[in-house]
Amino acid sequence: MAHEAPFQLLHSELIHYICKSADSTDSENGRSVTKLENMGFRVGQGLIERLTKDTARFKDELDVMKFICKDFWTCVFKKQIDNLRTNHQGIYVLQDNKFLLLCHLSAGKQYLEHAPKYLAFTCGLVRGALSNMGVKSIVTAEVSVMPACKFQVMIQKV
Amino acid sequence: MAHEAPFQLLHSELIHYICKSADSTDSENGRSVTKLENMGFRVGQGLIERLTKDTARFKDELDVMKFICKDFWTCVFKKQIDNLRTNHQGIYVLQDNKFLLLCHLSAGKQYLEHAPKYLAFTCGLVRGALSNMGVKSIVTAEVSVMPACKFQVMIQKV
């Protein structure tokens, strides 16, 4: 019964709060997105700590990514990633065909420009989770048709 | 598996964000608490709409309060209110013996002064939910021993 609702509504409220003053030059918009990304990063760090408390060691990078797509995604968004692709050279694309945090936006193109605000937190979330598992990355997101979206993870070799 | 964690961590991050600049006169602290309360109000409004979508009409005020203590509380905090008391004259006291949003704070008296920040959002949450069910109220909270706390709801007769 609406288990995902508290998180989703709080996330919307957060965006509203952080972006409201930004009405809004591009640089202000950029700052809002960065703030959201940073908050996601810290939440991702905390979350992955709890989720991996009792898991076995991960075999490799792909094993880590699968954990993000299944257990981690299910915990936050109540569904798994629908498709995971990789070029086996450090780039992963995670596709969610019905992304929770876009579900309440209209599917047309009208709100497409607002999508970055609704994805920034999650980019940070993934980056924070990976970071706590020793994987440094850059995470970006793109939307073509809402509520589907793709997250691209570029692993930064140390 | 840690279903409450995303909401809880996001809530902590929100407090951190809103209160960080407030380092901090009493009036600034007060403003932070008010902001949190307002955000809770709007989340409560949205949440109760979803939760009551398919419920039968409520008989009376007590029936509404029971719904808050059971379904609403479980949806957000993954447990029911432990004790509901009323003077039958518009005052209700909801006691949660292990309140989710205080669980990660140490149980001693050391952090007791920070409790109001961690309760403001939830006060607003309850007030918003009641408001959308046509019940105007004032909601306050008190903690004596963490992580237990009591929320007092004073119904405002119209």
> Structurally, how many domains does chain B consist of?
1
Instruction: For residue B91, give both structure tokens.
Output: 């005052």
Among B3, B135, B6, CA closest to B79: B3
pLDDT of residue B21: 61
How many residues appear in chain A? Answer: 158
Q: Which helix (H) or strand (E) holds A67?
A: helix A61-67
* Domain region containing B59: 4-155
Residue type, B59: K
Tens of pLDDT along B95-150? 999 999 998 887 777 788 888 999 999 999 999 999 999 999 999 999 988 899 99
Residues on chain A touching B20 (C-beta within 8 angstroms): none
How much is the ipTM here? Answer: 0.90
pLDDT of residue A153: 97
Average pLDDT value over all residues in chain B:
91
Among B131, B129, B109, B105, CA closest to B117: B105
Share of chain B above pLDDT 90, in %: 72
Say if A150 is an interface residue toward chain B (CB within 8 Å): no
pLDDT of residue A21: 61
Tens of pLDDT along B47-101? 999 999 989 999 999 999 999 999 999 999 999 999 999 999 999 999 999 999 9
CATH classification at residue B142: 3.30.1380.20
Question: Phi/psi zone of residue A80: left (φ > 0), alpha (ψ -120 to 50 degrees), beta?
Answer: beta
Average pLDDT value over all residues in chain A:
91
Q: Is the pLDDT of residue B22 over 60?
A: no
Say if B91 is an interface residue toward chain A (CB within 8 Å): no
CB contact under 8 A, A51 and B10: no
pLDDT of residue A23: 60
Look at A155 and B31; give whichever has higher pLDDT: A155
pLDDT of residue A4: 87
Q: Is the pLDDT of residue A105 over 60?
A: yes
3-class DSSP assignment, residue B154: strand
Look at A108 and B69; give whichever has higher pLDDT: B69
Q: In Å, how far is A132's CA from the nearest CA of chain B?
A: 15
Q: How far apart are CA A7 and CA A10, in angstroms?
A: 5
Cβ atoms of A14 and A121 closer than 8 Å: yes
Q: What 3 state SS string does B35-67 have?
A: HHHHHHHHHHHHHHHHHCCCCCCCCCHHHHHHH
Size of interface A-B (CB pairs under 8 A): 74
pLDDT of residue A1: 54
pLDDT category of residue B1 using cuts at 50, 70 and 90? low
Q: Which residue has the tokens 């809402």?
A: A146
Among B90, B35, B32, CA closest to B64: B90
Residue to test with chain A: of B3, B7, B70, most A Cβ within 10 A = B7
Tens of pLDDT along A118-151? 999 999 999 999 999 999 999 999 998 889 999 9
Tens of pLDDT along A39-77? 999 999 999 999 999 899 999 999 999 999 999 999 999
